[in-house]
């Protein structure tokens, strides 16, 4: 009996010692999955190392008014005037020329403290088309105007290249310019061509310009605006350029580069 009690005591002591043994710091218990999801502050599942992926987007607001939101959330307005969507605070405002339907800067009421406003004046400083590097995007001023209503010395177009490489060209109010053929070297992703045929080039000339520039997507804008409507879809559909993309007033698109980045 005493021998049996002794073995029982020995077994108990061994079990108690084993219970006190802990794995080394940082070691995981057997059966634990190191890729197990945790919860973020908003309660959504999050795998360690996984980042939130955003996309660059463009909202066409009508007439020549455009809002670009970068993947990092920077907000760029171009020629504010028409439509809705001016609530997000601006980081950059671009104005191609002084006409009221391109220069309603006051519509952008919300602006970040370091918001930059670049108009045709800064873009044509010293009579030269300027370039601006803002970190989250680069802005290149290019020729615009070249007709009786728009002086090339007081008008510009812009090429906006985002930090992910996506580029957007807006002609502003213009007819064909000498520089357009050279813009093919820029390998532009999205190009907007005014084509009202009254104060600027018509649909045929705009298509000719699109052929010169050779962007991946050619978009008609600044189509005749009447009675509070700032885009004529039927007229836009007569824009016969290759790689045509029609974006309706109030429509937002995702901006993708040739490499598929957003």
What SS3 string covers 4-65?
Answer: HHHHHHHHHHHHHHHHHCCCCCCCCCCCCCCCCCEECCCCCEECCCCCCCCCCEEEEEECCE
Assigned domain for 1 exists:
no
**What is the predicted pLDDT for the residue at 8?**
44
Two structure tokens written together for 123:
């873009």
Q: Map residue 112 onto helix, strand or coil.
A: strand
Of the candidates 151, 155, 58, the one whose C-alpha atom is nearest the C-alpha of residue 103 is 155
Specify the CATH number for the domain of residue 188: 3.60.15.10
pLDDT of residue 259: 63
Does the residue 61 lie in any domain? yes
Question: Quick check: is 81 in a domain?
Answer: yes
The reported pLDDT for the residue numbered 260 is 67
pTM (two decimals): 0.79
What pLDDT is attached to residue 99?
A: 94
The total number of structural domains in the chain stands at: 1
Over its length of 262 residues, how does the chain's per-residue pLDDT go in tens digits?
444 444 444 444 444 444 443 333 333 333 333 333 322 223 333 333 333 458 999 999 999 999 999 999 999 999 999 999 999 999 999 999 999 999 999 999 999 999 999 999 999 999 999 999 999 999 999 999 999 999 999 999 999 999 999 999 999 999 999 999 999 999 999 999 999 999 999 999 999 999 999 999 999 999 977 777 899 999 999 999 999 999 999 999 999 987 667 7
DSSP category for residue 152: T
- Provide the domain limits for residue 190: 57-246
Residue 98 lies in a domain: yes
The Cα 31–Cα 47 span in angstroms is 18
Task: Report yes or no on 166 lying in a domain.
Answer: yes
Name residue 60's beta-bridge partners.
66
Q: Is residue 198 part of a domain?
A: yes
Residue 12 lies in a domain: no
Q: Is residue 48 part of a domain?
A: no
Pair 197, 207: CB distance under 8 Å: no
């Amino acid at each position: 009996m005493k021998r049996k009690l002794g073995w029982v005591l020995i077994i108990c002591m061994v079990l108690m010692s084993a219970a006190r043994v802990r794995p080394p710091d940082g070691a995981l218990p057997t059966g634990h999955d190191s890729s197990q999801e945790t919860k973020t502050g908003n309660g959504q599942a999050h795998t360690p190392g996984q980042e939130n992926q955003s996309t660059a987007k463009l909202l066409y607001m009508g007439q020549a008014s455009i809002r670009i939101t970068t993947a990092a959330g920077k907000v760029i307005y171009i020629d504010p005037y028409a439509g809705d969507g001016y609530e997000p605070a601006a980081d950059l405002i671009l104005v191609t020329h002084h006409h009221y339907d391109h220069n309603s800067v006051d519509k952008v009421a919300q602006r970040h403290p370091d918001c930059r406003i670049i108009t045709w004046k800064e873009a044509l400083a010293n009579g030269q088309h300027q370039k601006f590097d803002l970190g989250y995007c680069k802005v290149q001023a290019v020729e615009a105007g070249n007709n009786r209503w728009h002086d090339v010395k007081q008008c510009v177009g812009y090429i906006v290249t985002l930090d992910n490489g996506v580029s957007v060209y807006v002609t502003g109010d213009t007819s064909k310019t000498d520089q357009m053929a050279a813009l093919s070297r820029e390998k532009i992703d999205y190009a907007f061509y005014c084509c009202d045929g009254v104060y600027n080039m018509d649909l045929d000339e705009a298509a000719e310009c699109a052929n010169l520039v050779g962007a991946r997507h050619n978009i008609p804008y600044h189509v005749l605006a009447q009675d509070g409507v700032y885009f004529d879809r039927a007229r836009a559909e007569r824009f016969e350029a290759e790689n045509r993309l029609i974006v309706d007033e109030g429509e937002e698109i995702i901006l993708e580069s040739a490499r598929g980045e957003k």
